[in-house]
Copies of this chain bind each other. A is one copy, B any other.
Amino acid sequence: MNIRTIDWKNDKVRIIDQRSLPQKLVYLDIDKPSDLRRAIRSMQVRGAPALGAAAALGVYLGVKGYMGVGWQGFSRRLKSAAKYIASSRPTARNLFWGVERVVLAAEKNKNKPIAVIKKIILDEAKKIMREDALSCRKIGSYGSSLIKEGSRVLTVCNAGILATIDYGTALGVIYSACSHGKKVKVFSCETRPLLQGSRLSCWELSRRGVDVAMIADNTASSLMAGGKVDMVIAGADRIAANGDTANKIGTLNLAILSRYHKIPFYIAAPESTFDLSIKSGEQIKIEMRDPREVTGILFKKTTAPEGARAINPAFDVTPHRLISAIITDKGIIRGPYLRNIKKILSGRR
């Protein structure tokens, strides 16, 4: 049975509650911006591409009840709705990109009646979802050329169906290779603190019949040293103009370990994850999350000593020189990144 991470159903945003997985597959119907913002902050919906769609729909939730008729009043409401959703989490580029796209679509049509503009916003959000599904398939298709029969792929966090609308970026590459009949073995780093690699990636990979084994994050170099990993593929939350890539904490570890063991390290992400307005990863704001995610397990049980302090950055930045290639919906980008990112994203080959 196919699942859809995020959807527009019965005039509401329908998401899979990712905090309930893998124990239960629960859908949440959301029609208030505050509920959606909370769902984003608490990671009931997460993953950069999914956040792009969620943010766009969130802006629509913020304006759909607007009762006025003039553009000026509507524009104020639109901006405040956009700002509200954009303030939910700071790192994933797609979230801001989703907000900006629907705001721009509205502004381009500001002479139309408010009811029409509202519909344009919703249509744009739906278009983002359709495009995301398509771009994941393109990423998968380009990326699967890198995977050989029998390849053993290590991944981190969840850059799969649950991080996008329905196919995934890093895992999309694996799904695509499998659909071409290649046998792929996946190692999934459990990805502390929130265990997306265990709870989400193992769940969706197994559902699709992919051979997957999970490991504690600590085990990555041991597997590599034992010659058991052919490549690493990770997703991305934001990619700077020079190719520096922010992704889930631990990604930088894997990039360094891959370099040491001479294993290719790939990033898979759609164009919407690129932020060409920033020169390098140094300019990416890294979200610091609640230390209790680290001192405890999954929002509940505390395992650390009482009063223990913890540092909990949600992301790290992998310098471009450690990245073998970036697999995008426009093609595979290799270094020198500053030049090739611009060239390939603009379609000039």
Contacts and interface: CB of A to CB of B under 8 A. Distances in A.
Q: Is the interface of A mostly helix, strand, loop or mixed?
A: mixed
B220 A253 contact: yes
A20 interface: no
A22 B305 CA distance: 5
Interface residues of A, number: 53
A302 B259 CA distance: 33
Q: Taking the full assembly, how many copies of this chain does it contain? A: 2
A18 B260 CA distance: 35
B219 A311 contact: yes
A203 interface: yes
Interface in A185-206: 187, 189-193, 195, 198-199, 202-203, 206
Contacts of A294: 190, 198, 214-216
A308 B202 contact: yes
B202 A305 contact: yes
A116 interface: no
Interface stretch (A69-77, A136-144, A312-320): A312-320
A158 to B, nearest CB: 12
A286 to B, nearest CB: 8
A303 B221 contact: no
Q: What 7 A-B pairs are tightest by C-beta distance, nearest first?
A: A218-B250, A22-B305, A222-B316, A192-B216, A203-B305, A213-B309, A198-B304
